[in-house]
Amino acid sequence: MVRAAVLPAVGAPLEIVEIGLPDPGPGQVRVRLAAAGVCHSDLSLANGTLRQPVPAVLGHEGAGTVTAVGEDVAGVAVGDRVVLNWAPSCGGCHFCGLGEPWLCANAAAGAAAPYAVCAADGAELYPGLGTAVFAEETVVAAGAVLPLPDGVPLTEAALLGCAVLTGYGAVHHATRLRAGETVAVFGVGGVGLAVLQSARIAGAGAVIAVDVAPGKEELARAAGATDFVLAADDTAKRIRQLTGGYGADAAIECVGRADTIRTAWSATRRGGRTTVVGIGGKEQQVTFSALEIFHFARTLTGCVYGNSDPARDLPVLAEHVRTGGLDLSAMVTDRIGLDGIPEAFDAMLQGRGGRALVVF
């Protein structure tokens, strides 16, 4: 039996209970978690913005040590340090064939089947986003674990599984930020902090952080922001003032709100790129006029998992950690236990903090 944070129903409070995990079957591995990051996507699963069968153990950003492997597992062994991959690509679908594993049609298959039981009543439990890392241990498909390169602290490595892969990929793959360009980053949460650090790695010129919370200025500047703008009705105008009247070469939205997306678009220069990383609800509608689309010639693009290939990008990120270019510990604003997850959810709703890390 292991302890886990269970979502009994959509919109219900999390419950810390004991669950029973099976031995890993063919093609599966069991992982003892060292840490799990609390991501806004977990909140979106809990409140129904994103679909998730329930009851479920949430959590998808984690790292730990393999404790058991099932039959027909290659490439990973007991004792290996691993990062969980919540969107493992199948390698055979249309999108994988196009070289776009982040859009894999079968990446979410792991979340559709029960994987454990509640110790109290035997109820079947589903794994949140196929990984279920809000628990002391989990059982996942072998494709959902990535070997952690040497030189990266196991606890902070949890952030590599979502926030950092997403933020780094948003800068380097989706936006293709070039050295010397200006970038405006909307939202200084976990992903936003990863975007700021990645923009610094990319050699950006001005890096403008935007957030509703004035207390995040110090956090943003430590991550690489050269300027901080407190979100208001005139945010786009202020960004243009900071960029010679033109607007940022690129804007990266990490919030997932219609008004923030619209502002990011308006803060982007003619011919620039606006990248949307944040996950908004289907009721969030963004409106553009046909004339402005022609006149400004901007590019608006979505971004899933940073348009990353985790197997390719994780070693690159690990090297940035080893050389000091990427500071994972600076992204962590709270270290909590399982019972601290609800408070971390509240902090996200109120725009407080960066990344809360559940440490086991």
154 domain residue, yes or no: no
**Co-location of 349 and 291 in the same domain:** no
8: confidence class by pLDDT, cuts 50, 70, 90:
very high
Peptide bond into 214 cis (omega under 30): no
351: confidence class by pLDDT, cuts 50, 70, 90:
confident
**Co-location of 182 and 216 in the same domain:** yes
| Partner residues linked to 336 by β-bridges | 358
Residues 300-304: what's their mean pLDDT? Answer: 97
112 domain residue, yes or no: yes
List Cβ neighbours of 202 (8 Å cut-off, separation of 6 or more): 171, 172, 177, 178, 179
**Co-location of 124 and 217 in the same domain:** no
**Co-location of 346 and 208 in the same domain:** no
Q: How far apart are CA 279 and CA 305, in angstroms?
A: 11
Residues 296-308: what's their mean pLDDT? Answer: 97
3-state helix, strand and coil shares in percent for the chain, rounded to the nearest 5: 35, 25, 40
Q: Which domain holds residue 196?
A: 167-304
317 domain residue, yes or no: no
Phi–psi pair at 229, nearest 5 degrees:
-120, 125
**Co-location of 204 and 121 in the same domain:** no
> What pLDDT does 341 receive?
96
348: confidence class by pLDDT, cuts 50, 70, 90:
confident
162 domain residue, yes or no: no
Q: What is the pLDDT of residues 87-144, one digit of tens each?
A: 999 999 999 999 999 999 999 999 999 999 999 899 999 999 999 999 999 999 999 9
> What pLDDT does 57 receive?
97
Find the helix or strand (DSSP H, E) in which 63 lies. Answer: strand 61-69
CB atoms within 10 A of CB 40: 22
Question: What does the block give as tokens for 204?
Answer: 């950006």
Task: Kindly tell me if the per-residue pLDDT of 353 is higher than 80.
Answer: no
**Co-location of 246 and 128 in the same domain:** no
Domain CATH number, residue 235 = 3.40.50.720
Measure the N-to-C terminal CA separation of the chain; round to a whole number of Å: 15
**Co-location of 144 and 177 in the same domain:** no
308: confidence class by pLDDT, cuts 50, 70, 90:
very high
> What pLDDT does 192 receive?
97
Q: How far apart are CA 262 and CA 22, in angstroms?
A: 47
CB 275 within 8 A of CB 252: yes
Find the helix or strand (DSSP H, E) in which 141 lies. Answer: strand 137-141
Q: What is the DSSP letter of 174?
A: I
Q: Please name the amino acid found at residue 22.
A: P
